[in-house]
Structure 1
């Protein structure tokens, strides 16, 4: 697949998550609630998660922001559900490395998240993409 076709596919995946977000809303009985914002661009996220026996049983988000921020939150909530805390934190580490343009552990299946790889070329947008992930890390580490 040519670079232009791949780039177009990635844009479609991002826009699909933005227009049809997965796990949008709030968990009524969330065991963890995290609010974060990016004051430089106005992105906000309210993340709720249910964590039981060291496993992220459920995750939902509400918020406002650009397509990158909201799509990333949608993708993140999808991939961490059912994962052990350490696995979710490892995914966040891999995502952070990818956003910074570093070599990352590509043996881990990131699924739709790979569509955000191009964001690393736009430093001002990296904070948009990582907001939900930082909220998840904060919640799981506290």
Structure 2
């Protein structure tokens, strides 16, 4: 597939998650709630995580922001649901490396999240893409 076609596909995946976010909402019972924002551009997120026996049982988010920020939150919540906490942290580390343009461990299939790898070319947008992931790490550390 030509690079141009792949770039177009990635943009379509990002816009699909932005227009049709997965896991939008809040969790009410026995959850960790994290509020974070990106003062640079105004993105904000409230992430709700339900963790039981070392596993992320459910994850939802509310917030406002650009397409990169909100689609990243949608993709992240989809990816970590049902995962062991250690694996969620590993995914966050892989995502961080990807956003910094570093070589990253590709032993874990990131699915739709790989559509965000082009963000690494735009340093000002990296904070947008990583906001939900930073919130998730903060919540799992609490």
**TM-score calculated relative to the size of structure 2:** 0.99
Cα displacement (A) at 1:73: 0.0
| Alpha-carbon distance in structure 2 between the residues aligned to 1:81 and 1:30 | 16
1:44-73 Cα offsets, whole Å, 9 max, x none, are 000001000000000000000000000000
Q: Which residue of 2 aligns with 1:62?
A: 62
Q: Which residue of 1 aligns with 2:44?
A: 44
Q: How does 1:78-117 map to 2 (within 5 A)?
A: 78-117=78-117
Cα displacement (A) at 1:107: 1.6
Runs of 4+ aligned residues of structure 1 deviating over 4 Å after TM superposition are none
| Alpha-carbon distance in structure 1 between the residues aligned to 2:133 and 2:28 | 21
Gaps of 5+ in 2: none
Aligned CA RMSD, in angstroms, stands at 0.5
| Alpha-carbon distance in structure 1 between the residues aligned to 2:46 and 2:93 | 21
1:71-104 Cα offsets, whole Å, 9 max, x none, are 0000000000000100000000000000000000
| Alpha-carbon distance in structure 2 between the residues aligned to 1:26 and 1:58 | 10
Q: Which residue of 2 aligns with 1:132?
A: 132
Q: Which residue of 1 aligns with 2:8?
A: 8
Say whether the 8 Å CA contact 1:30–1:48 is kept in structure 2: no
**TM-score calculated relative to the size of structure 1:** 0.99
| Alpha-carbon distance in structure 1 between the residues aligned to 2:98 and 2:30 | 29
| Alpha-carbon distance in structure 1 between the residues aligned to 2:3 and 2:110 | 19
| Alpha-carbon distance in structure 2 between the residues aligned to 1:106 and 1:87 | 13
| Alpha-carbon distance in structure 2 between the residues aligned to 1:108 and 1:91 | 8
Gaps of 5+ in 1: none
